[in-house]
A and B are shown apart, each in its own frame.
Chain A
Amino acid sequence: MVQGRPLGDYALTFQIPPRDGTAADLCPEESDRRIATVMEWVGRLRNTPLADRIRILPGIASVSVEFDPLELPSAALQEFLERLLDEQAIPALSRKPPLEIPVRFGGPDGPDLDEASVRLRLTPNQVVERIEETQFRVAMIGFMPGFPYLVGTPSELWLPRRATPRTRVPAGSVAIGNEYTGIYPRSSPGGWHLIGRTDIELFDPDRPCPSLLHPGDCVRFVAV
Chain B
Amino acid sequence: MMNPCGQVAVLRSGICTSVQDLGRCANRDIGVGRGGAMDPVALRTANWLVGNEDNAAGLEITGQGPALRFERPALIALHGARAEFQDESMTLLQDRPWVLPAGRVMTVGRVHPGRWTYLAVAGGIDVPVQLGGRGTDLTTEWGGFQGRALRTDDVLSLGMANPLSAQYLEQHLERPLVSPENPALAPPAWLAPWRSRPSQPVVVRLLRGCEFDGLAPESKKALFGDAFSISASSNRIGYRLSDGPLRLNSDREILSAAVVPGTMQLPPDGVPIVLLADAGTTGGYPRIAHVIMADQPRFAQLCPGEMVRFQEVSLEDAHGALLQQSMHLARLRAGIHDKFRQGACA
Contacts and interface: CB of A to CB of B under 8 A. Distances in A.
Interface residues of A, number: 44
Interface in B122-168: 130-131, 137, 139-143
B280 interface: yes
Contacts of A211: 30-31
Interface in A53-74: 55-64, 66, 69-70, 74
Contacts of A59: 255-258, 282
Interface string B26-51: 11111110000000000000000000
A17 interface: no
B30 A55 contact: no
B260 A210 contact: no
B191 interface: no
Interface of A: 5-11, 13, 23, 42, 55-64, 66, 69-70, 74, 140-147, 149, 185-188, 203, 205-206, 210-211, 214-215
Contact of B322 (A11, A70, A142): A70
Given A57-B282, A140-B282, A145-B32, A188 B140 contact: yes
B280 A143 contact: yes
A146 B262 CA distance: 22
A85 to B, nearest CB: 14
Given A13-B258, A61-B257, A70-B323, 8 more contacts: A7-B260, A60-B255, A70-B322, A143-B31, A146-B31, A205-B130, A206-B130, A210-B131
Given A9-B315, A186-B141, A147 B260 contact: no
Interface residues of A, dominant DSSP:
loop
A186 B298 CA distance: 31
Contacts of A66: 28, 258, 260
Interface in B237-256: 252-256
B302 interface: no
Contacts of A185: 140
B31 A62 contact: no
5 contacts: A10-B260, A13-B258, A61-B257, A144-B140, A210-B30
B292 interface: yes
A145 B260 contact: no
A186 B140 contact: yes
Contacts of B319: 9, 69-70, 74
Q: Which of A141, A187, A214 has the most CB of B within 10 A?
A: A141
Interface in B261-291: 262-263, 280-283, 287, 290-291
A82 B202 CA distance: 37
Contacts of A145: 27, 30-32, 137, 140, 142
Given A7-B290, A55-B26, A70 B326 contact: yes
Q: Which of A23, A59, A186 has the most CB of B within 10 A?
A: A59
Given A61-B255, A143-B282, A7 B293 contact: no
B292 A60 contact: no
Nearest to B129: A205
B255 A23 contact: yes
A147 B31 contact: yes
A9 B318 contact: yes
A8 B28 contact: no
A200 to B, nearest CB: 15
Interface in B2-33: 25-32
Nearest to B282: A142
B207 interface: yes
A153 to B, nearest CB: 15
Given A7-B258, A11-B258, A13-B257, A214 B326 contact: no
Contacts of A141: 29-31
A64 B258 contact: yes
Nearest to A145: B31
Q: Which of B257, B292, B319 has the most CB of A within 10 A?
A: B257
Interface in B54-93: none
B216 interface: no
A203 B28 CA distance: 13
A74 B316 CA distance: 10
B281 A57 contact: yes
B27 A23 contact: no
